[in-house]
Chain A
Amino acid sequence: MQTATDSKPGAVVFDRRQIYRPFLERLNPIGSHNLPADGLIVAPDHDPRDTGEPPIHVAFANTAELTRGSQMALVGGIGSGKTTELLLTQKELSRHSDAVNIFVDMADYKDLSEISPGAILATAGIQLYRHLVKKTGSKKLPDAVRTAWLELRELAFGKTKWIDPEAFDPHDDESGDDLVPVEVPGVMKLKFPALRGQVVEILGQLLTIASPLLEDEAQITLLVDGLDRLIRPELFREFAEQDLRALRGTKISVIIVAPLLFLYDKSRFVQDYFDMVKHIPAVAADSQHSAFLRQILERRGALELMGRAEVSTIAKYSGGVLRDLLTLARSSAEYAYRDDEDRIGRRHVNAAIKQLGNRYLVGLGNTQKRLLRRLAEDGEFPIENTTARELLVNRQVLDYFKGGLESFAVHPALAKVLPKPA
């Protein structure tokens, strides 16, 4: 591509950035929230675990449309395309004019380590209120809705109280100093812990805010992203047992991303609690089955800059992790640009694979390397082992599902740089 120079009238100079920049902008591996509008998403045409079933976003949308109040979970490793699936579901749900879809990433509101049960409900209430204001204007809303909004904001973000410092006694304890709690066990154990007072209070405000929509029989769906990144996965269970359970029976559907570890948890909490659980394994990345991965790159203009062989190599070494697919393509383009080349060649792709592999290799000790070699050589992977699970969560090991069978494999980019035993 040539651009006019401003130094010599009539002359043209070669600006290589213009070759690569549009491609790189379409490859951006972070921040995929605009992709459905950009038309860059290659929507899957079936469930990744079952070719006979509809794709996840269609299954989720159908369930939310037909069974209001249903609760669904999406499980998948880092970079597997969970956010994209949620966005596709949101797009699918929007086909009905009465659909109210609330998409939230909990980290948009507060550091995930600082949120407590009740936060999902509060976020939903805040977003629903914004929807109503946008739709009808705040002045036309019933007083009860506006009051509920103000109280919900206080419950969510706290408030500053102004009190007389003379009257303030930080050691004042209304419960009395002489009393201590003693738990007397009953004959029945509750399946779930009781809803906390604050959660019940927030639910009340949320339902008041949602009442104009619920009275109109609107189809409300809450799509919650980000909680799979909770520092303690068990905290996710608390959110389910409080926030999501509080929403049961409200006709507000929920689709939530859950930590991958729960899929392999012996308690089967996720499978038992949710009405529907969908799992996104890594996409089959071998040359026979990687058409989906190649399509993703081709949709972004890869064939303008590299041959089919390079596209296939990138697909293979991504291991079927969608974000790694984009990262490899982007790094390859950057290496080609660095070398002042107009096309991406095999050596650029190989350099990108090595870089990605090295990222996964950093910090692996002998125990992890032994597990990886055992998996690579004998196909053995003890999923019940804590270290093995860490490898899975951190994507050094990938989970595949084919022909009704689950299998594990070392990430191919890591396998390429994994040192041989001495």
Chain B
Amino acid sequence: MIGFSATTAFGLVRRLATVGLDTPSLYLLISDAPEMHVIQADITAEIQVQLGVGIQVLAAADVGAGRLEDVFIQDPATPVILITLDRWLPKLVAALDRNMVLLETPGAVLLLASRGVAEHMLIAAPNLRNRLSDVLAMRPDEAFGGTMA
């Protein structure tokens, strides 16, 4: 896998705090599959602590290619949406790629994917790739040494 910048949930949410939630942000977050639930919990906690806003956490299987309008409807109470993609769902990714405008509402959309799924996404979804704010390799807080991202 090609090396993308690494960060922690703390670093990611610090970025979101810089940008603010009044404009749309879209991040692809890469994590080792066994650590995904830890990363998800870290992000959820950091969003609530640093930003003080609600977060909608969804599994990709629950999103469904046919109901993107419902998922991405703007809800001021939960301006951050975290979708976990632990397996390759080509129909969902294709739907996201074609219907990018649905993601262009104020707030942040975080796509947390395993390495393999992230690689597939970057290949199969050029519209989505082109609109990503960034691609980041996520590390659990305690395992991340050196400078805080």
Q: Which residues of A contact B (CB under 8 A)?
A: 16-17, 20-21, 24-25, 28-31, 33, 78-79, 105, 107-108, 111-114, 226, 229-231, 321, 323-324, 327, 330-331, 333-335, 337-339, 351, 355, 358-359, 361-363, 393-395, 417
Contact = CB atoms under 8 A, between A and B. Distances in A.
Nearest to B19: A24
B15 interface: yes
B97 A355 contact: no
A331 B130 contact: no
Most buried by A among B5, B11, B94: B5
A199 B20 CA distance: 45
Given A24-B18, A108-B101, A229-B127, A351 B5 contact: yes
A175 B55 CA distance: 54
Contact of B4 (A21, A339, A358): A358
Given A78-B126, A111-B68, A226-B101, A338 B11 contact: yes
Interface string B82-111: 000000000000110111111111000000
A363 B122 contact: yes
B18 A362 contact: no
A91 B85 CA distance: 40
B79 to A, nearest CB: 14
Contact of A28 (B2, B5, B23): B23
B123 interface: yes
Given A25-B22, A334-B134, A355 B5 contact: yes
Nearest to B65: A111
Contacts, number: 115
Interface residues of B, number: 45
Given A21-B18, A30-B103, A363-B119, A229 B133 contact: no
Contacts of B105: 31
Contacts of A324: 130
Nearest to B105: A31
B59 to A, nearest CB: 20
B98 A112 contact: yes
B131 A323 contact: yes
B8 to A, nearest CB: 11
Given A17-B18, A21-B19, A359 B99 contact: no
B54 interface: no
A210 to B, nearest CB: 25
B126 A395 contact: yes
A13 to B, nearest CB: 15
B22 to A, nearest CB: 7
B126 A29 contact: no
Majority secondary structure, A binding face: helix
Contact of B23 (A31, A112, A417): A31
A355 B101 CA distance: 24
A53 B95 CA distance: 38
B135 to A, nearest CB: 6
A94 B142 CA distance: 57
A363 B123 contact: yes
Contacts of A21: 18-20
B120 to A, nearest CB: 8
Contact of A29 (B4, B18, B20, B133): B133
Given A30-B103, A355-B134, 9 more contacts: A114-B66, A231-B94, A323-B131, A324-B130, A327-B132, A339-B147, A358-B4, A394-B126, A395-B130
Which 3 A-B pairs give the minimum distances between C-beta atoms?
A: A363-B123, A31-B104, A107-B99
Given A31-B104, A355-B135, A362 B123 contact: yes
Nearest to A419: B2
Nearest to A108: B101
28 contacts: A20-B18, A25-B19, A28-B24, A29-B131, A30-B26, A30-B100, A30-B104, A30-B131, A78-B130, A79-B130, A107-B99, A108-B101, A111-B68, A113-B98, A226-B101, A229-B127, A321-B130, A323-B131, A334-B134, A338-B15, A355-B4, A358-B2, A358-B135, A359-B122, A359-B129, A359-B132, A361-B2, A393-B126
> Which of A24, A30, A78, A333 counts the most B-chain CB atoms under 10 A from its CB?
A30
Given A334-B15, A338-B15, A363-B123, A111 B99 contact: yes
A362 B98 contact: no
A380 B94 CA distance: 31
A25 B101 contact: no
A110 B5 CA distance: 35
A112 B119 contact: no
Contacts of B19: 21, 24-25, 334
B149 interface: yes
A78 B122 CA distance: 14
Given A107-B98, A111-B99, A330-B133, A358 B20 contact: no
A31 B104 CA distance: 5
Nearest to A364: B123
Contacts of B20: 21, 24-25
Nearest to A390: B126
